[in-house]
Amino acid sequence: MSWLGAICIITACTWAGFEIAKKLTERPKQLRQLKIALQSFEAEIMYGMSPLPEASRKISKQIPVPLSYLFYFFAEYLKKGESTVPNAWSKSLEETWPYTALQLEEKEVMYQFGATLGQHEKVQQQKHIRLAMIHLEKEEKEAKETEHRYEKMAKSLGFLAGLLLIVIFI
């Protein structure tokens, strides 16, 4: 019976390590997806001449979950007549953020971007989109470095923590 407990402990700790590593791996992917979404958003605004709800709805269909929820909720809030565009963006960020692997730095960039949405003419809006993409590019580079540095370590530490717990309990 004690062997079964030991196997459960090792499995749980190893799984926890793999979950941490997964989050480290997902962050650069989601940052790339977010940059692509912003590029699409720029194209929709500049060349498609789409209103914000329509552009957001199109983008939500183009990118994978969970980031698609950000644009989907944004479009829904705008359709419902949310008080302001930045307020609708903030609400959609708050609803979506817990489901992403992104961190506070990226959230702050997206808040700043959202504060400018619908406030300026097209050329100014394009500049704000590009600025947000530059910030996300920097964060993506840092996320890749963090992933390379800590992914294997997280997996190993999960397994080793399980072994340590078994040794302590024996």
Tens digits of residue pLDDT in 110-143: 999 988 887 778 788 888 889 999 999 999 999 9
Q: Which residue has the higher pLDDT, 125 or 37?
A: 37
CA proximity to 128, closest of 138, 108, 113: 113
**pLDDT, mean of residues 63-87:** 88
pLDDT at 15: 95
Nearest-5° Cα angle at 88, 85 to 89: 85
CA pair distance 124, 114, nearest whole angstrom: 13
159 pLDDT exceeds 70?
yes
Three-class DSSP category at 53: helix
- What's the one-letter identity of residue 159? F
pLDDT at 37: 93
Contact 71, 57 (CB under 8 A): yes
* pTM, entire model: 0.83
Contact 63, 71 (CB under 8 A): yes
**pLDDT, mean of residues 130-157:** 91
Contact 93, 107 (CB under 8 A): yes
CA proximity to 138, closest of 64, 21, 31: 31
